[in-house]
Structure 1
Amino acid sequence: MTSGKKTEKYKLILDAAVKVFAAHGFHKAQVSKIAKEAGVADGTIYLYFKNKEDILICLFKEKLGELVEKFHLSIEQTTNAKDALRRVCEIHYGELEAQVDLAFVTQIELRQSSLELRKEIGKAVKPYIVLIEQLLLQGMEEKLFRQDLDVKLVRQLLFGGLDEVVTSWLIAGRKYSLSAQIEGTINFYLNGIKA
């Protein structure tokens, strides 16, 4: 089996897992359903993943890794930390609004998983938190953000706020545009941290 075929099947399985976890919930999802959705034999799953929990952890690593990569590419085009934080918010809301199944898995299923599983997924979230921290420090250096910021606290508040807005949007049945919340969100945070 070539590396390209391995990568292709790995991605097929992860994409199928997003759909199955979103439709049935993590606990009710069966590996056989994921295999069927991916168009592979049940045993093929175990060539790539140890178990269902491993699929969820890898899914978070892959999808959040892709998101963080988009953040980095986008903020390279910005001129300051304020613009960079705006881009992070735009991408966060835009990507999850466009990928509703992924939003359900990342926002709803994570909260229902075991503490051990949440710890593993927390490791996948860390690069995102670190990116926010770097942008806060950059904004302080640029004299755009208050010098007395508790950076560790503010990074959690920023991430947690974005996270909660997406969760509320899902729970409300997606009756409004998530992307329409960008200005209100970013203005709230920037007003709180501006120099």
Structure 2
Amino acid sequence: MAKKKGKKFEQIIDAAVTVIAQNGYHHSQVSRIAREAGVADGTIYLYFKNKEDILISLFEEKMGSFVIRSKEQLSEEPDVEQKLKRLIEMHLRQLEADHDLAIVTQLELRQSNLALRNRINEVLKGYLGLIDSILTEGIETGFFAPDLDVRMARQVIFGAIDEVVTNWVMKDHKYNLVSLANPLNKMLLSGLRR
């Protein structure tokens, strides 16, 4: 069954980001999310089954729109080096612009139960596919070695970006995150280049 969407759906998603970032997932009550969204408690259940469904939907919406924007922007880049740099910049820029979302993605999504983590991993596949496409193009164009292990390279790239953001969140957003995109891109490429 397709999820009901619209303005209230978006309000609830945005409110959930705020409430979960401020209180943690386990201490965020649906009633508090409803109050932040400016809707009645019962309205939440017209859009979501429960708090877990809100968290998954939040990640689906934010990650889904990020993947769509990224695909569009990556298609404008002339080569693998620029594509990877653009992806890193976009990732860092989105989270730097929304501290609450950064807290939710870097801290709260990881504290969830196994079933919830498995659903989050399913959502993450679209993003990981973007990295795979850059790596595959790099192999096809000779930028990367033909025997590059795409799966391992993807893990290294995603892990590096993810750790840079997590460290920024843990340091309470005290420095410019996007300024790290270029040095991170250079470091990754120097390790991957043939």
Shorter-chain TM-score: what band?
over 0.9
- Are residues 1:29 and 2:28 paired? yes
Letter in 2 for 1:148: D
Give the count of matched residue pairs: 191
Distance 1:192 1:96 in 2: 25
2:57 maps to which residue?
Answer: 58
Letter in 1 for 2:73: S
Report the CA distance between 1:6 and its aligned residue: 4.5
Other structure's SS at 2:6 match:
helix
1:44 maps to which residue?
Answer: 43
- Are residues 1:170 and 2:130 paired? no
Equivalence map 1:90-105=2 (5 Å): 90-105=89-104
Report the CA distance between 1:70 and its aligned residue: 1.5
Moved beyond 3 Å, runs of 4+: none
Report the CA distance between 1:109 and its aligned residue: 0.2
1:151 maps to which residue?
Answer: 150
1:18 maps to which residue?
Answer: 17
Question: In structure 2, do the counterparts of structure 1 residues 62 and 31 end up closer, same or farther at CA, with 3 Å as the change threshold?
Answer: same
TM-score normalised according to structure 2 size: 0.96
Distance 2:64 2:76 in 1: 19
Report the CA distance between 1:158 and its aligned residue: 0.7
Q: Which residues of structure 1 form unaligned runs of 5+?
A: none
2:184 maps to which residue?
Answer: 185
Report the CA distance between 1:160 and its aligned residue: 1.2
Distance 2:78 2:51 in 1: 42
Deviation track 1:84-106 (CA, whole Å, cap 9, x = no partner) reads 11100000001100011000000
Deviation track 1:118-138 (CA, whole Å, cap 9, x = no partner) reads 111111101001110111000
2:106 maps to which residue?
Answer: 107
Deviation track 1:155-181 (CA, whole Å, cap 9, x = no partner) reads 111111111110000101111110111
TM-score normalised according to structure 1 size: 0.95
Identity of aligned residues (%): 49
Deviation track 1:12-36 (CA, whole Å, cap 9, x = no partner) reads 1000000000000000000000000
Distance 2:179 2:134 in 1: 23
Moved more, 72-81 or 46-55: 72-81
Q: Which residues of structure 2 form unaligned runs of 5+?
A: none
1:83 maps to which residue?
Answer: 82
Letter in 1 for 2:8: K
Report the CA distance between 1:78 and its aligned residue: 0.5
Report the CA distance between 1:69 and its aligned residue: 1.1
Distance 2:192 2:156 in 1: 11
Moved more, 29-38 or 138-147: 138-147
